[in-house]
Amino acid sequence: MSGYYRTNYLEDVALLDTRAQKAWFALFIVLLLAVPFAVGPLWLDLANQILLGSIGAVALMLLTGFAGQISLGHAGLLAAGAFTTGILFKELAAPFWVTLPASAAVGAALGLVFGLPSLRLRGLYLAVSTLALHFIVIHAGAEYETKRGYSTGILVDSPLTDARHWYFALLAASTLTILFSLNLLRSRTGRAWRAIHGREAVAEALGISVQRAKLSAFVISSALTAVAGCLFAYFRGFVSVEAFSLYLTIQYVAMIIVGGMGSILGAVLGTIFVVLFPHAIDALMAASGLGERLSSVVFAVNYAAFGLVMIFFLVLEPQGLVGIWRRVRDWFLLWPFKQR
């Protein structure tokens, strides 16, 4: 008998199994830490956007990819976190260590309220009910901006000003979110989410409270999303409803679909793809010489290409980028054999 076997509990719960995995991961960490010193300002800003986006994408993945609950209120939740931060900063001069948990608490409360329809509704109907969250939060934010005279947005003083500092802060936040999510998914709560996603009736038969599992998914995902909104407020230095359009929700949904449903790695890969995609299209247009001629419709081209990519993944690669990654990895692991 040959192969790799886990022989004790510690090995069983380890996130990285083999020495090779650990070595590759160490190299990956070194590369991640080297990024701010190796790239220019544009790429550093993109890296920061990816890290920030991955927090929201992982949060949505927990809710939709693992617990199977559809939400179109993601931009609303990001806005809720950002506005909580902006309002507390402006009204009470609250520091970061107050605005961050306050944003999480507001997100959790909204998640609880807007998770309630999930106890009765499913699929498209649930998605429509979560849209209400988006419009209510955006409306409330716009009202606040107008009433307080911040019609161009609320300015928030960031504790970090250097893009490199932001990179390390966001890298830490993103890593913590991923570690939290990976461990949560291996806990009773995470298993209950995946169970209700699989079969609600069987979950009930095995003593899992489907209601509690759904609500906890909404609460935890919403709290994490609001935390991402809080970080967004500090990162951009201002909060405005303009930044939280329905298109942002669609981008986050695209992140988890393109990345691959039911995978934390998929959420991260999807974020990388969605953040870099418009720049790739721009570069492609410039390289092909079409940039000049299509400059007036560059946004339309971007949207159209984005739509086509979504359709491509939905139809031809439902497992997303993570499915492609797994196939490539398995090909190398199993070579010269084709399958296990």
Partner 1 sequence: MSLLKVEKLEVTYHRVITAVQGVSLEVPRGALVALLGNNGAGKTTTLRAISGFIGLDDARVTEGSVVFKGMKIDNRPPHRIARHGIALVPERAKVFENLTVEENLQAAVPRPGGRFAREKVYEFFPALGALRRREAGYLSGGERQMLAIGSALCCAPELLLVDELSQGLAPLLVRELMRRLQAIRAETGVTMLLVEQNAQIALEAADYGYVMENGRVVLDGTPQKLLAHQDIREFYLGAAGGRRRSYRDVKQYRRSRRWYG
By CB under 8 A, name the binding residues for partner 1.
188, 191-192, 194-195, 197-199, 201-210, 262
CB of 55 to partner 1, least distance (A): 24
d(CA 297, CA 193): 43
CB of 208 to partner 1, least distance (A): 6
Name which of 90 and 191 has its Cβ closer to partner 1.
191
Name which of 117 and 262 has its Cβ closer to partner 1.
262
Name which of 67 and 106 has its Cβ closer to partner 1.
67
Task: Quickly tell me which residue has 């439902």 as its tokens.
Answer: 318
CB of 3 to partner 1, least distance (A): 12
CB of 176 to partner 1, least distance (A): 24
CB of 206 to partner 1, least distance (A): 4
Name which of 14 and 286 has its Cβ closer to partner 1.
14
Task: Check if the beta carbon of residue 32 is closer than 8 Å to that of residue 171.
Answer: yes
CB of 14 to partner 1, least distance (A): 14
Name which of 67 and 102 has its Cβ closer to partner 1.
67
Name which of 202 and 311 has its Cβ closer to partner 1.
202
Using alpha carbons, select from 80, 79, 76 the residue that is nearest to residue 130.
76
Using alpha carbons, select from 10, 30, 24, 12 the residue that is nearest to residue 333.
24
CB of 178 to partner 1, least distance (A): 20
Name which of 67 and 104 has its Cβ closer to partner 1.
67
Using alpha carbons, select from 111, 66, 91 the residue that is nearest to residue 226.
111
